[in-house]
Structure 1
Amino acid sequence: MSVPEGYSAPPVDENICKLAIPVPGREQPILVELPRINWMPGPEVKKYREWLTPYGEAEAKWMNWIAENSTKPEADQDPKPEGVEELLDGFQQREVTLRWLKPYVSTADYRALMDKIPDGMVEWIKQQLSDPSIAVGESSASTDS
């Protein structure tokens, strides 16, 4: 991209991740090129939030139920919130990270990422998608000074 004189633009290469993700049992890694999380297009962020919101709401209902009922005898406890346990049982923490990759890989590759890569690889992907200007263990507040 050519930027006219007097204007500034973010460096494109710092905002794009190019990942080669090794998958056990496959000869070739899964190649993914996508924006970092803080550079994701608005529609992708909206889809992600729409996917994640029901889980957050269910967890909040569950935690409230526990807080209100944990000290009561079982016979006096309120009914458990309907459908919450089932929804949370289907939740996989790794998908919170891998879901960002979903629009940028095939269905088969996404399934392989969900089923076959180790948790350490998921953590590595999360780090790669984070803001590169913030080092591990450093907050954005400490980079502003």
Structure 2
Amino acid sequence: MGKPTPTRIREGLQKKLYLGNLDARRDWGFAGDYVEAMWLMLQQDRPDDYVIATGQTHSVKEFLDEVFGYLDLDWRQYVEIDPRYFRPSEVDLLEGGASKARRTLGWGPEVHFKELAHMMTDHDWELARRERFLAERGRQDCR
């Protein structure tokens, strides 16, 4: 059995997704963009410190809206809050300020929230489809 994901719900492999704080806001970014920023840092004549971030926050609810909407599902029918997934020292808002990286390195994220959510969903959906294919044939998960 694979990890719990909305795509597994879409493919009929699970019924619910259990999450914690849906109001937590995070600065969601694409790792490939961050690797580019690291490369640009290494091209500088002198080392320096930079914050690498999108500078935009989105809540877990917004992520659910985007992903479940992309799958043509209503997340409210499938997501349940589980107190075990609340963090004792939860930070409600995490947002980075990358103005120095923009100014000095000429860096900015190219993949934005909606595209990132779709990329993540597409990847997980392919895994869920494979899992369903194997399950229909009585085989174990062979990722």
Q: Fold-level match, TM-score > 0.5? A: no
Q: Which has the larger radius of gyration?
A: 1
Normalised by the length of structure 2, the TM-score is 0.22
Normalised by the length of structure 1, the TM-score is 0.22
- Structure having the larger proportion of residues in helix: 1
